[in-house]
Structure 1
Amino acid sequence: MSDEQKAQELISIFVCEKDPDIENFLKEKAILFEKIGKSRTFLVFNEEAEEFGVLAYFTIALQVLKVRESLSNRKIKNFDGFNAKINGERITEFPAILIGQVGKNSLYKDNISGYDLMQYCMNTVLDGQMRIAGRIVMLECRNIPYLIELYGQFGFTILEKDYAEDELLQLIKILREEELIEKQGIGEA
C-alpha cells in the first residue's frame, strides 16, 4: 500500500459534523494540495490509543494578505514591521502564513480541545516561520463567538474591513519579537 493510499485510508473516517467544508477539504483536496505544494496538512492523533484515529487536523499555506489603501500609515507600518511605503507607494500586500483549515474529528471530539489543537497549530507555524521568516499569521472563520474567542486567546484579531453578510472574517496575528526570539532560542545564556 502506498503512502497516499495509507493517508487516504486514515482520513476516510474523519467526520466533522459542525462544518462539512472542513471534512470535505481533508477528504477531497488535502492530498492534492500536498502534491502540488499549495498547502501542508498536519494530522493530530493519539499515539497511546489502542485504535489509531485522526483526532483533528490543520492546514498551513502561504498567502498574500491584502489590506485597503485607506489604512493609516501607522497600521500599515505595523503590518510591514518597517515601512508603510516602498519607493513612495503605499504597501497594501503582505506575505502571510495562512492557517487554512482547522478541524476536529467528531468521532473523537472529547479527546482534544480546540485550545490544544491551536497550540499544535501555532507551534507548527512558529517552526515554519523560523525557517522561512514571516510576521503575519492569518486565518478565516465564520462569525461564531466561541471561535473568535478561541483565536483571540492566541492573539488573533479581526482585520478591519467591510464584510458581506455571510463572508468569512479574516483574523490576523502579527508575531511579536519575543515569540520569535523565544522559539529560535536567541538570547539564551
Structure 2
Amino acid sequence: MKLPCFETVISQMVKNIYRYKGCRYSELEAKLVDDFKAGCFFQQDDPDYKINEFKNEIYWVSKYLKMIRLIRDGSDGLISINPEGVRFLNTQVLEESKLEDLEQLIEIRTYLNTFELKLDPIVVSYRQLTQADKGKVDRTLSSFYCSKDPDIQDFVRHKMERFDDKSICRSYLILDRENSDDENFCILGFFALALKILTVDQNKLNRKQKRDMNLLREQEGIPSYFIAQLGKNDMFKYNFKGKYLLDEAVNIVYDCIGLLGGTIVWLEANKEADSVVKFYKNNKFIELQSEMQEDGVERIQMIKYLNRE
C-alpha cells in the first residue's frame, strides 16, 4: 500500500506545529489526515484501512521527531518545536508565508542529515524477535517503512513469518537498543539470507572467473549464499548507514562458511537503480550477469568472493 513518504509527512507535521505555535496530538493527526485526503492519497479501495495505516505512520514520524529533538511534548499537553528546532527553522524560513507552500518548505533533510542520533544497534533473528510479547512484535514490524521498495516493506510486515516457517530464508533485523521502549522495538533495517543455486553459463565466463568460482567442467550451478532481501527503515535512513546492514549480512554468511564451506555470496539489483548498483560495487560486489525476470524487471546478479577476504 502506497503511503506518503516520510519526508512529506515530516514536512507537513513540522509546518503545522510551527504555524500554530503548538497543538495537541489528536488535532495534529486530524489535520494531517485532512491534508492528505485533499491530496488524493486515500481515494482508492478501502480508504478507512489506508487512513488507519497513515495514522500509524503519523505516530512513528512524531516519535522520530522527538528522538532527534525537533519537537517535544509540553507540560500543557501541546506538542511544540524544540528550542534547537526553532533555531534551525528560523534559519530556513524567512517569511511565515513560505510555510503555506509545501514546495518552499524548509529543507528538512539538512536537519536530519546533521543531527547525530545516538544508536545502539544489535542484530536479532526473526525467531529471536518472536520470543517477545506478540503485541510488541506486531507493532514493531508495522513500523518498518520502505518507500523505495514496497515489496520489502510488505515482506517485513506480512511474509517474514511464513518464509521463516518454511525455511525458504532466514530473516534478521537490526534493532536499536538506545531508542526502543516497553511498547516498541525500533527497527533500523533488515536482511534475509538463503541458500540458492547461482546458475552460470561457462561459455560466457573467462578463465579467471571459472577459477574464482571453483567451477568443475560442465558445471552450470553453484550452491551459494544469497542475500534475498536487504533494506533500511525509512525512519532512520538519515542516521543509519546501509554499509552496516550489508556488513552484518556478510558476517553471518562467513559464520555459515565456517560450518558448511562455500566461497560466494550474491544478490540481485535492479539494473536501472544506479545508486543501488554503485553501493554494492563500493562494497566489493562484482557484476556477473543480468537477466530479464518474470516481473519484467532486468536485474543484475552481483557476487562477492569471500575466500579473498
Identify the TM-score tier after normalising by the shorter chain: 0.7 to 0.9
Greater relative contact order (CA < 8 Å, ≥ 6 in sequence): 1
Of the two, which has the highest radius of gyration?
A: 2
CA contact (8 A) 1:69 1:92 kept: yes
Deviating above 4 A after TM superposition, structure 1's stretches of 4 or more consecutive aligned residues are: 161-165
2:280 is aligned to 151
Distance (Å, rounded) in 2 between the aligned partners of 1:8 and 1:129: 33
Alignment of 1:1-150 (within 5 A): 3=131, 5=134, 6-51=136-181, 52-72=185-205, 74=207, 75-80=209-214, 83-85=215-217, 90-143=218-271, 144-150=273-279
Give 3-state SS (helix, strand or coil) of 1:97's partner.
strand
Distance (Å, rounded) in 1 between the aligned partners of 2:232 and 2:143: 12
Paired amino acid for 2:243: Y
Give 3-state SS (helix, strand or coil) of 1:168's partner.
strand
Give 3-state SS (helix, strand or coil) of 1:3's partner.
coil
Give 3-state SS (helix, strand or coil) of 2:265's partner.
strand
- Following superposition, the deviation at residue 50 of structure 1 comes to 4.7
- How many residues are matched? 171
- More off after superposition, 54-63 vs 145-154: 145-154
Distance (Å, rounded) in 2 between the aligned partners of 1:166 and 1:38: 22
What RMSD over aligned residues (CA atoms) do the two structures have, in Å? 2.1
Task: Report the CA distance shift for 1:160/1:9 in structure 2 as closer, same or farther (over 3 A).
Answer: same
- Following superposition, the deviation at residue 7 of structure 1 comes to 3.5
Where in structure 1 are there 5+ consecutive unaligned residues?
A: 180-189
